[in-house]
Amino acid sequence: KAGVTQTPRYLIKTRGQQVTLSCSPISGHRSVSWYQQTPGQGLQFLFEYFSETQRNKGNFPGRFSGRQFSNSRSEMNVSTLELGDSALYLCASSLVGQLNTEAFFGQGTRLTVV
């Protein structure tokens, strides 16, 4: 079966702009989680969506938002980009949630803010 697909793979944006990242989970998976990975902070949880509802949220400012569609595809939006938002953004899908089952990660979107 197809894996988790994240688009785009690479993105360069300017400070102050906004960006939307997309994640298509594995077919049949209803949970999608987003993570930010940076050399300094490591892997940090952004939020989790399940059946179009945000089920959990990490400690990120309101500039970071997301949504999930009825087909379980998810988007993540970052507004008013800052240099510190440069990171690898990873999305993970799981059947009902990654707390008790394995999560499958996409290859990530590498965002560079200049």
Partner 1 sequence: SQQGEEDPQALSIQEGENATMNCSYKTSINNLQWYRQNSGRGLVHLILIRSNEREKHSGRLRVTLDTSKKSSSLLITASRAADTASYFCAGSARQLTFGSGTQLTVLP
With respect to partner 1, which residue has the nearer C-beta, 80 or 111?
111
For position 102 contacting partner 1 by CB under 8 A, the verdict is: yes
Rounded CA-CA distance 17/4 in Å is 26
Among 50, 108, 111, 113, binds partner 1 (CB under 8 A): 108
Rounded CA-CA distance 75/66 in Å is 6
- x/- track of binding to partner 1 for residues 33-52 (CB under 8 A): x-x------xxxx--x----
Kindly report whether the peptide bond that precedes residue 61 is cis, defined as omega within 30 degrees of 0.
Answer: no
- x/- track of binding to partner 1 for residues 61-100 (CB under 8 A): ---------------------------x-x-x-----xxx
Q: Are strands 31-38 and 19-24 parallel, antiparallel or unpaired?
A: unpaired
**CB-count exposure of residue 95 (10 Å: 0-12, 13-18, 19+):** middle
Q: What are the residues binding partner 1 (CB under 8 A)?
A: 4, 33, 35, 42-45, 48, 56, 58-59, 88, 90, 92, 98-108, 110
